Structure 1
């Protein structure tokens, strides 16, 4: 194996080194241009996000601030950070070409030294350090560019999603805001339940700030203590998501009775769980802002402290289920997200 490697370098001619020199001039120019574009892109991005954050700080410091304006600015930051598909593709291309060039120059430097058995010590030193210098430049430059967006003020993943824990950190970096207020005043989750003329039932979740890795568990309690529990786990980058209720019993296709149970409930509660740790972060009472024969809109009323029932804990581990608990037996329905 060692003999084959030595033979590879020994048989390398000056022609390959010359060709590498010619192509490297073009590659170096392209990499330099890409570096300039990266630098300008990141400078504008960082400056814009910094300006938006300062504006948010000013609005929050005002006691009578408009929360919708703050939400708009946070959504603008998320958009700026998520609009990086071309940037990431270019970075991958830059990384690939730069490392390939570094490997080629390292190989050509070794081959050039081996091909000069009668070369002086000075020649060997100059060739060695020149090869080390140009190879290091090709290897280190991509690492520097990768770190440009490493410490973003908000972390948006490759699917343009923002974790619940990250929005908490963002608000705390500006001012001290309770988790309950962040959920109620800024994220503002709203549940809409609609009954169609055919008896089909759909549920939608709207958030003013798109948050993923979060579960909303709604509990509707009737006067005779029948409970309807709905769990919506959101991993989407969208602020608005729709779901359809699907029964496990395929013969059931009318949900008018189920809709009426929810509509006539006397108590409505919301439990918010952070799903990366399955940790309860807040609980609220809820109210119907719209309560009609075919549409329900449920919004947060006020926070309350309670220990969730075992039924809430059980549904947390399920996969987008809706449970109906009665004295006889629970009925289960699956929530299917609309594409």
Structure 2
């Protein structure tokens, strides 16, 4: 098995960023140290060019049907053409064949549907772009779809949420293959300040869509974001909004699909994550600033949201 041979599977209407994020990140190893690096190839049906969803054309470097193992990492790109690709029995069959000859198998974004069609995700936990998660789960009930993380590893199969999360997955491969120092150098070369752990959430209050276009909900959400260390109980927020706690809960469920209490907890944990990765403040001070009663309260909430302790999250950030 050649651990550093990487084959990326592309098809028409693939997402260019999915392909570029992983290939450019992996190729940075060679640029940093010419004695190291990956053997990268874009394999396409028939070896011909593919038209990405942006309209840009990429030339294939290998004929998918003729590619043989051993392969270190097989990567299936995502994109708007994923549904057609998953219905293409020949393409899916070759992905299934190559997976048997690969040390690692990965999908980016909606490329998970191709792995699922090949049966490679049956019984496994997997992720995809949050917008397509319900569709993937409905189409492939044998797959345990988790829309929250930016990437997931289950055995030797990796699935990523797509676009920039492909960069994080590629960095994790580099760390496994060449060590944390190389991953740190590559992350600096890519001008990404944080090599995010796979269980970091895809969405947060800072990256999700703006609060619903409802005056009361928007007013309360703005209040929460600016006063995380204040009394943000549902009763206190209801007084601010001049409605009953029950009515405020109904409004939040209708417009933000969660209770006020859940929204507050997520806002506080998200803010704590930012402070952990961008400051040297002690955990106790971060807890107080974000409205937690103690460092232990922060630890419990953080572990529930991200699956790791605040100290471990900070340790990951400090490596980059």
Q: If the TM-score is normalised by the length of the shorter chain, which range does it land in?
A: under 0.3
Q: Which has the higher strand share?
A: 1
Q: TM-score normalised to the size of structure 2?
A: 0.28
**TM-score by structure 1 length?**
0.27
Q: Which has the higher contact order (CA 8 A, sep 6+)?
A: 1
